[in-house]
Amino acid sequence: MKLSLIITVITLIISTALIYFLSLQNKIAGSGDKSKSYFAFNWKSVSYSRDIMQYWKNDSKRTKAIKNIVYLDYAFMIIYSSYFCFMLFQQHAHQSRTWLKHWLIAGLFGIILCLLTDAIQDYKIYRYIVSNDIVNEMRGYTYFKWSCFLFGIIPLIISVLMSD
């Protein structure tokens, strides 16, 4: 379990730094207005998301901030997905309950689906910011991504709580 602790600490440090830089870029993207932030874009209606996209495109600093957010988010995706997949495998290897071993594997697929959905969502946002494509519904990606994430970590949490 020493390796798990080391990896957890390293992951927390890197994740904290990435989240800090994401937050800085998000403030630039929204010019201090949270309702125009990257995070708001993914949770709002299509018409509101289109307004936010136009707002970003009207200023080169905001456009650059969105591009930076996408790049940073890809780095964050690599970190969180690698960490959770590693932890799911670790718990699977040390788990004696067969039913929980199956759920840990299912959780692995949840994390992979979360990663793929997040990557597609970021790709679409990048395409929107660099092209004249019409912004479509983004909330479906957001809901699906978070559902997959929960599906991935719930078996991990149960396994940690029920550890022998």
The mean pLDDT value for 59-84 works out to: 97
Nearest Cα neighbor of 92 from 81, 80, 105 is: 105
Using alpha carbons, list the distances in angstroms from residue 77 to 20, 53, 99, 115.
15, 23, 28, 6
Report field, pTM of the whole predicted structure over 0.85? yes
Confidence of residue 32 (pLDDT cuts 50, 70, 90): confident
The H or E element spanning position 131 is: none
For position 164, what pLDDT does the model report? 63
Dist CA 161 CA 84 (whole Å): 16
Q: Is the pLDDT of residue 100 over 70?
A: yes
Residue 111 tokens read as: 């994390």
- The answer to whether the CB of 62 falls within 8 A of the CB of 55 is yes
Confidence at 1, pLDDT banded by 50, 70, 90: low
pLDDT value of position 53:
97
Residues 6+ apart with CB under 8 A from 159: 91, 95, 100, 103, 104
135 pLDDT tier (thresholds 50, 70, 90): very high
What is residue 38's predicted lDDT score, i.e. its pLDDT? Answer: 93
Mean pLDDT of the region 10-18 = 97
Is the pLDDT confidence value at 16 over 90?
yes
State the chain's mean pLDDT as an integer: 95
Q: Which residue has the tokens 């932890």?
A: 87
pLDDT of 163 strictly over 90:
no
To the nearest 10°, the Cα dihedral for 56, 58, 59, 63? Answer: 40
> What mean pLDDT is predicted for residues 21-46?
93
